[in-house]
Structure 1
């Protein structure tokens, strides 16, 4: 693996203010990560695009804007570059459109306008990477395991029973499929349970690529080749991720997984592999009583590769 020439990042934090699905710590998560990217991993501020739904944001984290930012990052990328995407916000699961999988559910993130970005979209981004570049995704959202379609599982579903209880001041980062469908139906006035119909009606060409393809086309991709996609997910595909709101203690709101990664990086000043970051984050969450298990999806080589190709001489 070559040393990267440029380090490019897109950071997205969705708190969904003044909605029934409001969260508290997602914007804090990406602001904290921006500082770490600059101070520890050598990213230039000008190469980090930040999208949040904070009041007064000039560019909101809609589905179209997030995909535009990711596409622009890919267009700038050259062989050997390091690309990073962090998402902190709601996740959901939707019925699979793939033939032969009537009971399967696929993973998606939920931008502020509910224009879902799916595992197929992330797979296509990874497929477009220039040779020798890497694309690391850190998703602090519910049901985020498997968010890159067909990526190899390195650390997956855990059989460990967690007897701890979630802290009382947290909320799950999930919106049930039924709630998303109800919201979209209220916008389109179309009486169907097919979520793709609603998304295509509302967002047209900006809807997920998953819904533009015939079901038989979803398996016809280049995704089975070795690639440089790396997914660190906040939980397993069947779990929820916690959003902490410790206002009663005077603390700061944060996503449990994002905070665990921050603590791992703070406590271990040397180079950490992607596998080590995920395993240590699991231990941190278990110690805090959280019933979520971060996962890692990537090639065998990238499992042992340094997280974000950490430069030598880091002082944090």
Structure 2
């Protein structure tokens, strides 16, 4: 049984293995001796308004530092965390997740002008042990993503891998289940629950900071535990569903803005787009997200969501490879037809409601 302790230097929550007398923090590199375990429940939302500014993470180069160049501007910085897990050599293996991560990085760098140094990639292909997508490393990377953010910053969290559900006993979930992400070592270390994701990368965000999450996983509709879900029908008509917990626990931000695109509804599963030749695949949701941008259908959040759903139904769901593999995908993969038959509907959730056909989409 792991015990949660706070780092003695930067106060990041750390998992102390059974019997361990000390632990090194992956964020600030400080060694913490055994301390009083902290409660798993996050601190009240009001405390986030005075969030401590942590030092830059020691093991990972600070994305806000440009060696040899001029210092970055005070605001308007970009930072991204990209996680792709294939679960290779296990019975849970997925084919397209690492390709998803590579495609998303290419999109952010070349289309949205994210500096490569501001993107942290966690995949099984990484040689640095801190960049393997274990539960501990994903947790540390989520803290890294929001550290020191300030007005004007744009953050992105992309995850491609397994998602799941577990019974919720607090009454905070409309359907009675918490949504989860499955790290590489989830069978031994457990899953990352939506409550923790919300407490780590949603609630701390101050006013003027924008976070987009792109989650390509099963059961991912409300995996950020955001208060509102955009329920859209096939004609494009929509209503906002209120998913705020009956307990009154605040699931929004500390003034920032969070919008999440997810691969499917909470009760649905997400699929790979498998190729017929020697090609591997990509996640259907990641593919549709990139397609919407490349085809010029991402003017607003409503047009973006409609385009993604249309691609799922028409290009991938037909089972005949009707989708065009664009220059972005073909640069990273080789050619091939897409097969499908998918039953999934990408979802949009947010920390506050808005007119999805009026609000411009931007990263």
Q: Distance in 2 between matches of 1:273 and 1:54?
A: 35
Q: Distance in 2 between matches of 1:245 and 1:292?
A: 16
SS of 1:264's equivalent in the other structure is helix
Task: Between the two structures, name the one with larger relative contact order (CA 8 Å, sep ≥ 6).
Answer: 1
Find out whether 1:63 has 2:139 as its counterpart. no
Question: Match for residue 52 of structure 1?
Answer: 123
Question: Match for residue 139 of structure 1?
Answer: 215
1:246-265 pair list within 5 angstroms: 246=275, 248-265=276-293
Counterpart pick for 2:353 among 300, 304, 312: 300
Measure how far apart 1:117 and its partner are.
Answer: 1.4
Counterpart pick for 1:98 among 170, 195, 213: 170
Q: Distance in 2 between matches of 1:100 and 1:76?
A: 30
Change (3 A) 1:224 1:230: closer
- My pick for the range that moved more, 284-293 or 55-64, is 55-64
Deviations 1:121-180 (A, max 9, x none): 222121100211011110000000011214211135x589xxxxxxxxxxxxxxxxxxxx
Contact 1:256 1:285 in 2 (8 A): yes
Question: Match for residue 243 of structure 1?
Answer: 272
Deviations 1:212-251 (A, max 9, x none): xxxxx994533257751211010011100002332x3233
Question: Match for residue 148 of structure 1?
Answer: 224
Q: What's the C-alpha RMSD, in Å, of the aligned pairs?
A: 2.6
Contact 1:82 1:308 in 2 (8 A): no
Structure 1, unpaired ranges of 5+:
161-216, 310-316
Measure how far apart 1:35 and its partner are.
Answer: 0.8
Structure 2, unpaired ranges of 5+:
1-73, 236-244, 318-341
Q: Which has the larger radius of gyration?
A: 2
* Greater helix proportion: 1
Contact 2:168 2:178 in 1 (8 A): yes
SS of 1:306's equivalent in the other structure is coil
SS of 2:305's equivalent in the other structure is helix
Question: Match for residue 88 of structure 1?
Answer: 160
SS of 2:140's equivalent in the other structure is helix
